[in-house]
Amino acid sequence: MNVLQPIGRIFLAFLATVGRLTMFTGSALSHCVRPPFYPRIIGRQMVEIGYYSLPVVGLTAIFAGMVLALQSYTGFARFSAEGAIANVVVLSITRELGPVLAGLMVAGRVGAAMAAEIGTMRVTEQIDALETLSTNPMKYLVAPRLIAGLTMMPVLVFIADIIGVFGGYVVGVYKLGFNAANYLQRTYDFLEAEDVISGLVKASVFGFIVTLMGCYHGYHSKGGAQGVGTATTYAVVSASILILSSDYILTELFFAK
C-alpha cells in the first residue's frame, strides 16, 4: 500500500501536468490566430530570437562544422574514404546539427529569459494587472513569443547551416588539404532540397517548443524569486529534452522508409 501510494501520486501529478500543458498549448495557439494582434511585440520578439541569437548560434555552428570535418577525417581515412567528408558535413549540419544545436542554444538563451520575464510578471502581479487592463495575457505575452519562435527559428537555422558548412570547408581545405573547388562541388552535389527543408521544419518545431516551455513555466511560476528560478530551470531542461526526443520522431517521419 505504502509503496504504491507515491507511484500513484507521481503518476497523477504527471497526468495533471500533461493536461495543463495541453490546455495551455491549445489556448495559446488559438490566440495566435485570433485578433487583436500585437505586431510591435511580435517584432520585438522576432529580433530577440532571430537577431540577437545569431552570434551564439553562429559560433556553435562554425565549431560544429569544423569538428565534424576533423572527426570524420579520422574515421574515414581508415577506409580511404576521405572524399566523403564534404558529404558527411553538409548532411549532418543541415539535417541534424544545425537545428538541434541552434534549438538547444536558443533554449538556453531565449527560453530561459522568457521564463524569467513572464515568471517575474506573474509573481509581481503584472499578469493580473494585464487582465484588469482589458488585455488577455495569453494574447499579449504568449502568442507573440510563439509566433516569433515558429517563424524565426528556420531563418536562424538556415544561416547556421551556411556557417556550419563553411566551418567544415575551412578545416577541409586549410587543414586537411582538400582542393577547394572539389570540396564545394562535392558539398553541392550531395545536397538535396529535402535535407535542408526537413532541417528547417525541425527548426520551426524546436522554436515552438522552446518558446512554449519558456512561456508555460513562466506563466505558472509561483512563490517569488525561488519560484522564478525553478521555472527558468524547468523551461530550459524540458525544452532540451523535448527537442532531442521530438528530433527523433521527426527524423522517423521524414526519412523512415
Partner 1 sequence: MSDAQPKIRLRDLHKSFGDKVVLDGVDLDVGVGESVVVIGGSGSGKSVMIKCILALLPVGGGSIQVDGEEVVGIGSKDRERINRKFGMLFQGSALFDSLPVWENVAFGLLAEKRVLRSEARDVAVGKLAQVGLTPEVGDLYPAELSGGMQKRVALARAIAADPEIIFFDEPTTGLDPIMADVINDLIVKITREMGATALSITHDLASARKIAHRIAMLYEGKIIWAGPTADIDDSGNPYVDQFINGRAEGPIEMAIRA
Q: Does 126 bind partner 1 (CB under 8 A)?
A: yes
Specify the stretch interacting with partner 1 by CB under 8 A; choose among 81-89, 108-116, 125-133, 161-169.
Answer: 125-133
Q: How far is Cα 240 from Cα 222, in angstroms, rounded to an integer? A: 22
Of residues 129 and 241, the one with the C-beta less far from partner 1:
129
Amino acid at 236: V
Nearest approach in angstroms of CB 141 to partner 1 is: 11
Q: What are phi and psi of 33, to 5 degrees?
A: -110, 0
Nearest approach in angstroms of CB 1 to partner 1 is: 22
- Which one, of 84, 15, 21, lies nearest residue 234 by Cα? 21
Specify the stretch interacting with partner 1 by CB under 8 A; choose among 52-60, 123-131, 164-172, 174-182.
Answer: 123-131
Q: Does 33 bind partner 1 (CB under 8 A)?
A: no
179: left (phi over 0), alpha (psi -120 to 50) or beta: beta
Of residues 5 and 134, the one with the C-beta less far from partner 1:
134
> Would you state the cell numbers that stand for residue 234, as one nine-digit string?
524547468
The three-state secondary structure class of 246 is helix
Per-residue three-class SS string for 189-209: HHCCHHHHHHHHHHHHHHHHH
Contacts to partner 1 from residues 133-152, by CB under 8 A: 133-135
Among 30, 124, 179, 185, binds partner 1 (CB under 8 A): 124
* Interface ranges with partner 1 (CB under 8 A): 121, 124-126, 128-135
